[in-house]
Amino acid sequence: MTENNHYTGYIGTYTKGESKGIYSFKLDTIEKTIVDIKLAATLENPTYLSISDNQQYLYSVMKKGELGGLAAFSIEAGGELTSINEQAQEGSPPCHVSVDSKNRYVFTANYHKGNVESLTLDSKDGSLQPAVSSVKHEGSGPDPRQEKAHTHYAGLTPDEKYLAVVELGTDALITYQVNDDGTLEKTNLLPIKAGSGPRHLAFHPNGKSAYLMTEFSSEVIALNYHSENGHFTEKQYISTLPEDFKENNQGSAIHISKDGRFVYAGNRGHNSIAVFQVNEDTGELSFLERTSTEGDWPRDFSIDPTGKFVVASNQESSNLVLFSRDENTGKLTLLKSDIKVPHPVCVKFLEN
């Protein structure tokens, strides 16, 4: 949503300390600054958000006492959020939520439960209906943090025939067919390098390539996506870290520019965003640069709708960072780093 070159964004947070829920902000693309940060919705641990393609609804993961689930909001003309409804059940909340382009289904990944769920949406008001499918993953990996399944991401493939699910605990990329009623059927599984801890996935605009970020090994895996059967194949592993960096690092978010020329990957520990150029012919990546996030534990970041700015969220230092982005070179330049938001996690923009 834009007014005089002001774009609305939302921040999901951990509600420890000062945070009260979901925050909104405006990106002023003329003054190159972030303004009007305010609480948009009071909610416990709304750590991940998803906005419907029609820009009318926002879906957030949430905790409510001993319950975990999702909250639905309508997005008003000024970017304000109005509560629609919630769906919650016993246990830990999901860590990831996504919505299909026609606003028929919502999908969640639950790190603690090790499962993926699909819920249907009411076509009239966008409200959440009870889950129609829940699949629990089994298995483990060699890393001590992989003692069981830890599902971290669930998002549709570009053709929306399949749901791609990233399983950090068992080192796998699992594909499910999405049936008309929203139920899920497992169709494929791609084993990922043992102990790498795959976390998040980003698809290339061409619908044929995808990029998988690993949390434990801090790598980006370039993949081919085969739309005829929902299968993925690996073609490249590339590190997000300098060779001489030996301290603790956990890979975080991965995003791709709208033109498909550049991939960006977050490093928690090294506290940087690694930038890669995409080979037009092969889809493979070449390293360009790393840019400091000017804070601690960059959990997420987002490229704004114009493609000219990036907003990153440093969870442990409670600050947002604004970069300008050169659309030709892909490189980032720091604009402002002292933008205070308590324990920010997820960053999402309204597209118009």
The domain locations on the chain are: 1-42+302-352, 53-301
pLDDT lower than 70: segments of the chain? 1-4
Q: Count CB atoms within 10 A of the CB of residue 226.
A: 14
Contact assessment for residue 284 and residue 233, using Cβ atoms and an 8 Å cutoff: no
pLDDT at 1: 45
- Residue 352: predicted pLDDT: 74
Quote the tokens at residue 299: 């959990």
Pull the structure tokens for residue 332: 């980032």
Predicted pLDDT of residue 2? 45
Structure tokens at 350: 């309204």
End-to-end CA gap in the chain: 4
Task: Round to whole Å and give the CA distance between 135 and 222.
Answer: 26
Phi/psi of residue 262, nearest 5 degrees: -140, 140
What is d(CA 64, CA 86) in angstroms, rounded to the nearest whole number? 10
Bridge partner list, 11: 23, 347
Read off φ and ψ for residue 324, nearest 5 degrees: -90, 150
Query: What DSSP assignment string belongs to 193-219?
Result: -TT--EEEEEE-TTSSEEEEEESSS-E
Class of domain 53-301: mainly beta
Which two tokens mark 316?
């442990």
State how far the Cα of 155 lies from the Cα of 26, in Å rounded to an integer: 27
Sign of CA dihedral 317, 301, 137, 240: negative
What is the SS3 assignment for 230?
coil
Residue 132 corresponds to which amino acid?
V
Rg (CA), the chain: 19
Report the pLDDT value the prediction gives residue 3, as an integer from 0 to 100: 55
Q: Which two tokens stand for residue 326?
A: 């050169």
Q: What is the dihedral of CA 242, 246, 247, 251, to 10 degrees?
A: 50
- Measured CA to CA, the distance from residue 39 to residue 80 in angstroms comes to 9
Token pair for residue 22?
């979901």
In this predicted structure, what is the pLDDT of residue 310? 98
Whole-angstrom distance, CA of residue 274 vs CA of residue 205: 20
pLDDT at site 55: 97
